[in-house]
Chain A
Amino acid sequence: MTGAAITHSHQFEAVLQLADDHLILGQRVSEWCGHAPMLEEDLGLANMALDLLGQSRALYAYAAEIEGAGRSEDDLAFLRLERQYLNCLLVERPNGDFAHSILRQLYFAAFMHPFWQWVSANSTDETLRGIAGKAEKEMAYHVRHCGEWVVRLGDGTEKSAHRIKAAVVALHHYTDELFQGSAAMATCAEDAILPDVETLRPVWTATITNIFAQALLEVPDVAHPQTGGRIGEHGEEMGHILAELQYMQRTYPNLQW
């Protein structure tokens, strides 16, 4: 070993960042399995988690291929340290109650849907176009399903409206980070591999505004956006997620089944 750090390409880092978003949110949503308020939602949440994990697998596998350093999708998912994860803070937020989890999913899916639509139609990268072709349709389902729930909760009972309003207060200031991108993302945007995330903001805002209007919710102004995930600065909860996610590989290194 010479000790020289491997220089990673922008493309590797951007794909890794996307993979981390999907893995961490998938892990969070899968915590609902067996705990949802009704059977339909238990299936629904497990299915959405499965979509996210499936998307993350394809992304990690591609990141590993770009890196070409012999690391596998599993190495990338399970054997990195907390500061090396590039996911946004929104996806690591705790599940809270059902309203929190559904709103978090809506915020994320309303961003990823136009993101994948752009990739599928415009990207110069064929592998990402293939991943996007599936993901955009899966994300459309998430937007619809979670959007319908936000309307039901907001325009439902006094209690349900109270809960979804509390979720908006707790989570809305994490949404700005979706549009901040990173140096790696910006370079990929210049090469037309990935979209310039800032250009997706009007679509996201229109989706959220439309759903909130039906849900009798106000879209709050964000005075102090919460950021840091894109440079590996995570909240306290991130370590807890990784402790559970990586438990097997840390306890029994190289375990396979």
Chain B
Amino acid sequence: MAKPATTDNLDTARAWAAAAAVPDPEVPCVTVADLGILRDVTIEDGVAVAHVTPTYSGCPAVLAIELAVEAALLDAGFEARIERVMTPSWTTDWITPEGSEKLRAYGIAPPVRGSNSKMALFGETVITCPRCGSSETTKVSEFGSTACKAHYTCKACAEPFDYFKCI
């Protein structure tokens, strides 16, 4: 059932829209909402509170993301505050299906959902090339251009690509 359209609900929706549109600083093809980093936006005593969760422990973008979300809320005319949410922990499963599709279109292979071979030595999860769709790919490096990505290359189309690591 739809909630009655009170001023508060309208404000909450408008604040969410403003915060949700902020692009990720390192992967600008997706927004903080696509990645599931923005958990919620609430209005508390007239202040828009954005609940933001870090991705990786050492993610250097955490502060940049928080500042950008705060700035977006200020631009939309709100008083704003950021609250850092630690639980439940973010995992790549928080990335929305639209977010995954945007990553693929941008040339980054999205994380394989529920992948569980992280402890297997020399274990290889099959990663599909985001350009040609081939599964004939090989890992070049466990660590890629940012902390959240690994580096792969496609044997079919010979293109290198990033894989958004599954955590």
Q: In the complex, are the beta carbons of B89 and A211 less than 8 A apart?
A: no
Number of interface residues of A (CB under 8 A): 36
Q: B2 on the interface (CB 8 Å rule)? A: no
User: Smallest distance from the beta carbon of B52 to chain A beta carbons, Å?
Assistant: 13
The residue from B88, B119, B140, B141 contacting A133, defined by CB atoms under 8 A apart:
B88
Among A139-147, A218-226, A230-238, which stretch is in contact with chain B? A139-147
A211 and B121 CA atoms in complex are apart in Å by 8
Give the nearest-CB partner of A38 in chain B.
B141
Which chain A residues lie closer than 8 Å to B142 at the CB level?
Answer: 40, 44, 141, 144-145
For the complex, would chain A's binding face be called helix, strand, loop or mixed by DSSP majority? helix
Number of interface residues of B (CB under 8 A): 26
In chain B, residues 57-99, which have Cβ atoms closer than 8 Å to a Cβ of chain A? 57-60, 86-91
In chain A, residues 35-60, which have Cβ atoms closer than 8 Å to a Cβ of chain B? 40, 43-44, 46-47, 50-55, 57-58
A143 and B119 CA atoms in complex are apart in Å by 7
Q: B147 on the interface (CB 8 Å rule)? A: yes
The residue from B56, B58, B119 contacting A144, defined by CB atoms under 8 A apart:
B119
Q: A138 on the interface (CB 8 Å rule)? A: yes
Q: B123 on the interface (CB 8 Å rule)? A: yes
Q: A137 on the interface (CB 8 Å rule)? A: yes
Which chain B residues lie closer than 8 Å to A133 at the CB level?
Answer: 87-89, 91
Q: In the complex, are the beta carbons of B57 and A130 less than 8 A apart?
A: no
Q: In the complex, are the beta carbons of A134 and B121 less than 8 A apart?
A: no
Q: In the complex, are the beta carbons of A54 and B58 less than 8 A apart?
A: yes
For the complex, would chain B's binding face be called helix, strand, loop or mixed by DSSP majority? loop
Q: In the complex, are the beta carbons of B143 and A134 less than 8 A apart?
A: no
Q: A129 on the interface (CB 8 Å rule)? A: yes
Q: In the complex, are the beta carbons of A43 and B87 less than 8 A apart?
A: no
Q: A135 on the interface (CB 8 Å rule)? A: yes
Q: A50-B58, A52-B58 are in contact. Are A140 and B147 (CB under 8 A)?
A: no
Give the nearest-CB partner of B53 in chain A.
A130
Q: In the complex, are the beta carbons of A40 and B141 less than 8 A apart?
A: yes
The residue from A43, A46, A51 contacting B57, defined by CB atoms under 8 A apart:
A51
The residue from B58, B120, B143 contacting A40, defined by CB atoms under 8 A apart:
B143
Q: B17 on the interface (CB 8 Å rule)? A: no
Which chain A residues lie closer than 8 Å to B90 at the CB level?
Answer: 134
A57 and B144 CA atoms in complex are apart in Å by 23
Some 11 contacts from A to B, beta carbons below 8 A apart, are: A40-B141, A47-B143, A50-B58, A51-B58, A54-B56, A130-B89, A137-B118, A138-B57, A141-B142, A144-B119, A151-B121
